[in-house]
Homo-oligomer: A and B are copies of this chain.
Amino acid sequence: MGQNKKKLSGVFAPVVTPFHSDELALDDLRFNLLKLNETDLTGYFALGSNGEFRSLSDKEQIQVLEVFAEQKGEKVVMVGTACESTRQTIEKSKLVSEMGFDYVSILTPSYFAGRIDGTTLQGYYERVADSVDIPVLLYNAPGFAGGVKIPPQTLLELSRHPNIVGMKDSSPTGPAKFLTCLDPAEDFHVLAGSANFFYPALHLGAAGGVVSLANALPGPCCDLYRLFTQGEYDNAKELAFRLARFNQAVSGTWGVAGVKAAMDITGFKGGQPRHPLQGLTDEVKEQVRKIIINEGFISA
């Protein structure tokens, strides 16, 4: 129990996948990981939404994971392995386990959104967790899953499975309702999936956060977590507000294209998202730069 708690506390970056002219830019990924390795981040979420995993072929996903395997340093790595059928998800999760990663993080199935209820989700996650030998994290993100949500009662059931040890929650309401219903005796850890509610989630017992802004501003994101753990709540709140405002203006408005633009501004290699997603225009990028400066994250 202690080990998962430790490994899942703090800040994770859901690492973006860089492209050059729509081709994988693995050197840029290496560059970013080497820089991120030097921060206080606890770890990485590979092949998540910000990693545009659904826009990659199976082969490309392996290429990305190989870079993580080489460059992860001391960081904890969770890998997104969600497919639509249980069978595919298990297959991909086994592969990730064999590559030596720490956790699989599994978004809800969603194609048949109207048919995916709590019972179906429970059957899905239990079968996967029974079949994979590294621990499983649930990933609740209705915005990327056609509105499919893990019901709190289903979460409570799943949290009792010995191989299901946590959840990333990116629902717009944040993880309050999940944190409220969990059994504190279980080895189950909730990660806030957005800078919008990372700070209040910590006050409710979240272990940490997987926040897209950690791609561009890993330092401030880690500072927020540190200030919270040190009980410096006034400073934490002030920083949380700056990060949330920035997050709403960039990730909330422009999605992964906004995150990548912010990375270009703060010294990482972001670039453009893969087609059909569009990168930010120069004009919008300039606005993003101004917001970063206004919030005091870089100087003018």
Give A contacts to B, CB under 8 Å: 22, 49, 52, 54-58, 83-88, 91, 109-116, 119-121, 123-124, 127, 143-147, 152, 172-174, 176-177, 179-181, 196-197, 199-201, 203-205, 233, 237, 240-241, 244-245, 248, 254-257, 274-278
CB distance from A296 to the nearest CB of B (A): 15
The reply to whether A143 and B114 contact each other, CB–CB distance below 8 Å, is yes
Given A173-B173, A199-B204, A203-B237, 4 further pairs, Cβ under 8 A: A54-B83, A85-B275, A87-B275, A112-B255
Number of copies: 4
Nearest opposing residue in chain B for A115, CB measure: B255
B112 in contact with A275 (CB, 8 Å): no
Taking a contact as CB atoms closer than 8 A, the residue among B124, B179, B255, B257 that contacts A276 in the complex is B124
Tell me the smallest distance from the CB of A197 to a CB of chain B, in Å: 6
Q: Which of A55, A91, A201, A245 has the most CB of B within 10 A?
A: A55
From the candidates B110, B144, B275, name the one contacting A123 in the complex (CB within 8 A): B275
Supply 20 A–B pairs (Cβ within 8 Å), ascending by A. A85-B274, A87-B274, A109-B276, A111-B144, A112-B256, A113-B144, A113-B146, A115-B255, A115-B257, A121-B276, A147-B147, A172-B172, A176-B196, A177-B196, A180-B241, A180-B245, A180-B248, A199-B204, A200-B200, A203-B237
Minimum CB–CB distance for A184 against chain B, Å:
10
- Minimum CB–CB distance from A42 to chain B (whole Å) comes to 22
Q: Are B176 and A200 in contact (CB under 8 A)?
A: yes
Most buried by B among A22, A124, A146, A152: A146
